[in-house]
Amino acid sequence: MPVQVKGEVLNVKPVGGYYSMTVVASGIAERTKPGQFIAVAVGGDDGAMLLRRAFSIYSVRETGVYGGTVEFIFAVTGKGTAWLSRQRPYDPIDVVGPLGRPFALPREPANCVLVGGGYGSAPLFLLADALRTRGCRVDAVLGASTGDRMFGALDAKRMAASVAFTTDDGSYGERGRVSDVLPDVIDRVHADVIYACGPMPMLEAVQRVAGAAYGGAGIPTQLAVEESMACGIGVCMTCVLPVVGSDGNTRMVRSCVDGPVFAGDRIRWDALGTVPADAVGASS
Amino acid sequence: MSVTLRPKSRTPRHVDVDMTTTLGSFVAPDPVFTASGCAAAGRELATYNDLSLIGGIVTKSIKLHATAGRATPRMAETPSGMLNSIGLQGPGVDVFISRDLAWLEEHDVRAVVSIAGTSVEDYGKLASKLRGKALSMIEVNISCPNVEDRGQVFACDPVAAADVITAVRRSSTPGVPIFAKLSPDVTDIVAIATACVEAGATGLSLINTTLGMVIDTSTMRPLLAGMTGGLSGPAIRPMALRCVWQVHAALPDIPLMGVGGIRTGLDAFQFILAGASAIQVGTVIFNDPGAPQRVSQELREVLVSRGLSNVAEAVGLAHRPRQDPPAPTVSEGPPVTTPPLADRDDRSDASNSSDIEAASFDDDLEVLMFNDAEDA
């Protein structure tokens, strides 16, 4: 169960092209599973920005001098994230979490490839810990537009048996996209499952590679999507995407409570941003 | 450790305020409800509120059949508000009854069921389906396009609005309160309100969203997939308050629910003073999922601080003529009937009043008073 916590900022620091914020928010850390997110109120109790900002949980600390803490990574993309970047230690901050469905973990030790795009890699480090605890092999592919937008390169080198880096401009690692190097990684490590988080076009490309793996036999994926949210808790119905259910029917499901992690082969990639005509309740 | 879990209890001790409010035959123990479309069917908010303590959940407008809604993007943040164009996504009334209404009943949460259709017949069928079900009230969302009248919105035409209310009244459980939720996008909201009441509406919910638009300056196209969307949140609060004021002035005996950007107990109080018997918290839930219970607690404090012992006596109080004896106001200091505030130790009689214990507020009240002065 998520909790709403009036916490306070422990620290905010620039990390490459991003920011890291750690908040003291008791009750969230001990409940967090890899892939879950928090929804942070911005602008203060009296401010003009009403919608919470959703961020993947990067790391948690259950106990310590300050009590439970939660760390997340953000890019300044608008007024809300600019406000966050200006917060200072001891400033109050209202956090709801942990929210959403976490990554499903393999029951048996498996070879796992973790793919991150930009700061979409943030939730993959908690995941790597959980996978390695279960005896899984972890390899990573991290991509970004430029080197300073690569998040967690050092972490990745530490936790993964191998890491491949790609940037659009070649300023860090290979020039290209994660989906360019992913097929080789799958074959080299005999991957059993792919986990990914990042922009939707990247996730779509990852799913395409996964579907074509092993001569078309395919490989299961667990993808954490980035859809625009208003509430993060399942009441507003704005973060929907078309997903095929176990009954074979497509429904517009909420990425905040039914996701953000989905099996990649369930997402209707061809119909993102639309309501497909065969969706349950689509106007004919 | 400054971290506290919500909902934070801020109810003053030993203070007796009657929060009961009457909405036709429905006597609600609290005047704070959730607004339709901002609370789904309540279940998700139970994590952040004790829903049995608020007046009830106004459920997301339900249609006869499952509805997938509109394409995305469905939402845009705007100054002190948001635009939405969801398209009434929902499971259809049958699943709603068996799943959502059953959950609300099981958890002792009062249900106000909002219904929406695209023809007068739809509304009548919905009311029939809900006959005899465990609900406190029906709210009729008439801000929907009428397919039988070239997409004209029912709420914008007094005849169409009245036709819908007549159909719902005819098919509903006899005596169940029926509230029509009106759109502010009309020339004369009193005319629509009057038509609904004459057609059998018990009361009115004021207001639904007002139509707005945002253009994405990168793509140079409308940001929402649906082009336009409903504007909600504190940005429309003055408009909502004006509608409540106008309708209460014209129809003083008709119970009203005030809706529109209510964020605090003081906001709720403004609506009650304007003539609302109950209020609904909507978009602010997205900002603060604990808002329904918080607003209820804050409203209770507001009533106490003004020496009001119940909600009912505050309803429409702002309409009293100026020459009347002034109602108790906080800025001029508590009147003799009001328990003195604990932190006003400059009052000479404070130490020997037996009411002091009743007025042991936490520090927040001072903030509350300050805000009020600013708002005034």
Rounded mean pLDDT, A150-173: 95
The distance from CA A196 to its chain's CA centroid, rounded to whole angstroms, is 7
Separation CA B299–CA A190 (nearest Å) = 62
pLDDT above 70 (res B344): no
Candidate from A201-215, B132-146, B350-364 with smallest mean pLDDT: B350-364
Of the pLDDT bands very low, low, confident and very high (cuts 50, 70, 90), residue A188 is very high
CB distance B119 to B96 below 8 Å: no
Inter-chain residue contact A1 with B283, CB threshold 8 Å: no
For residue A46, what is the DSSP state? Answer: T
Q: pLDDT tens across B67-94, in order?
A: 999 999 999 999 999 999 999 999 999 9
**DSSP letters along B126-142, please?**
HHHHTTTSS-SEEEEE-
Chain B residues with CB-CB distance to A277 below 8 A: none
User: For residue B186, is pLDDT > 70?
Assistant: yes
What average pLDDT does this structure show over A210-228?
Answer: 93
Q: Is the pLDDT of residue A284 over 70?
A: no
Nearest to B284 among A50, A92, A279 (CB): A50
CB contact under 8 A, A274 and B71: yes
* Chain B residues lying within 8 Å of A252, measured CB to CB: 68-69, 89
Q: What is the mean pLDDT of residues B313-339?
A: 68
| For residues A22-29, average pLDDT | 93
pLDDT at site B146? 82
Kindly state the average pLDDT of the residues B226-235. 96
Question: Start-end ranges of CATH 2.40.30.10 in chain A?
Answer: 3-99
CB–CB contact B44 A275 (8 Å): no
The pLDDT value given to residue B358: 39
Q: Model confidence over A222-260: pLDDT tens digits?
A: 999 988 888 999 999 999 999 999 999 999 999 999 999
Average pLDDT over residues B298-320: 96
Predicted confidence (pLDDT) at residue B376 exceeds the cutoff of 70: no
Under DSSP, the state recorded for B100 is: I
CA distance B63 to chain A (A): 11
The distance in angstroms from the start CA to the end CA of chain A is 38
Question: With an 8 Å Cβ cutoff, are A67 and B289 in contact?
Answer: no
Closest to B68 (Cβ–Cβ): which among A49, A233, A280? A280
Mutation site, B94, B147, B287, interface A, largest A CB count within 10 A = B287
Q: Is the pLDDT of residue B342 over 90?
A: no
**Record: contact A230-B75, CB cut-off 8 A:** yes
Q: For a pLDDT cut of 70, what percent of chain B falls above it?
A: 82
The model's pTM is: 0.88
Q: Distance, in angstroms, between A211 CA and closest chain B CA?
A: 26
Query: What's the confidence (pLDDT) of residue B372?
Result: 38
- CA quadruple B366, B370, B371, B375: dihedral positive or negative? positive
Per-residue pLDDT of A37-87, as tens digits, reads 999 999 998 999 999 999 999 999 987 666 799 999 999 999 999 999 999
Which residues in chain A have their CB less than 8 angstroms from residue B285's CB? 231, 235
* Chain A residue numbers touching B90 (CB-CB < 8 A): 281
- What pLDDT does B330 receive? 59
Residues of B recognised as catalytic: 144
| Cβ–Cβ under 8 Å, residues A186 and A212 | no
Topology of domain B21-319, per CATH?
A: TIM Barrel (3.20.20)
In this complex, how many residue pairs, one in chain A and one in chain B, have their CB atoms less than 8 Å apart?
133
Residue B351 confidence class, pLDDT cut points 50, 70, 90: very low
Structure tokens at B359: 């007025």
Residue of A70, A238, A253, A257 to mutate, testing the B interface (most B Cβ within 10 Å of its Cβ): A238
Q: Closest to B38 (Cβ–Cβ): which among A7, A49, A235?
A: A235
What are the sequence ranges of the domains in chain B?
21-319, 328-376
Predicted-complex ipTM score: 0.94
Q: In this complex, do B72 and A49 lie within 8 Å of one another by their Cβ atoms? A: no
Q: How far is B5 from chain A (nearest CA, A)?
A: 5
Residues of A in contact with B60 (CB under 8 A): 237
Q: Strands B178-182, B75-78: parallel, antiparallel or unpaired by DSSP?
A: unpaired
Torsions phi, psi of A130, nearest 5?
-65, -40
Which helix H or strand E contains B285, and what residues bound it? helix B284-287
List CB contacts of B215: < 8 A, sequence separation 6 or more.
Answer: B221, B222, B223
- pLDDT (average), residues B337-344: 42
Please enumerate in sequence order all residues whose Cβ is within 8 A of that of B277, keeping only pairs 6 or more positions apart, or say none.
B21, B22, B23, B31, B203, B255, B256, B257, B311, B312, B315
Look at residues B87, B148, B160, B97 and name the one whose alpha carbon lies nearest to residue B118. B148
Residue among B40, B68, B69 minimizing CB distance to A235: B40
Look at residue A120 and tell me whether its pLDDT is greater than 90.
yes
Give the C-alpha separation, B309 to B287, whole Å: 30
More confident residue, B348 or B297: B297
Report the mean per-residue pLDDT for chain A: 95
Between 1.10.1200.10, 3.40.50.80, 3.40.190.10, 3.20.20.70, what CATH number should domain A111-224 receive? Answer: 3.40.50.80
Q: pLDDT: is A126 or B323 the higher one?
A: A126
Contacts of residue A282 in chain B, CB cutoff 8 Å?
68
Domain boundaries for CATH 3.40.50.80 within chain A: 111-224
User: A3-99 architecture in CATH?
Assistant: Beta Barrel (2.40)
A179-208: average pLDDT? 96
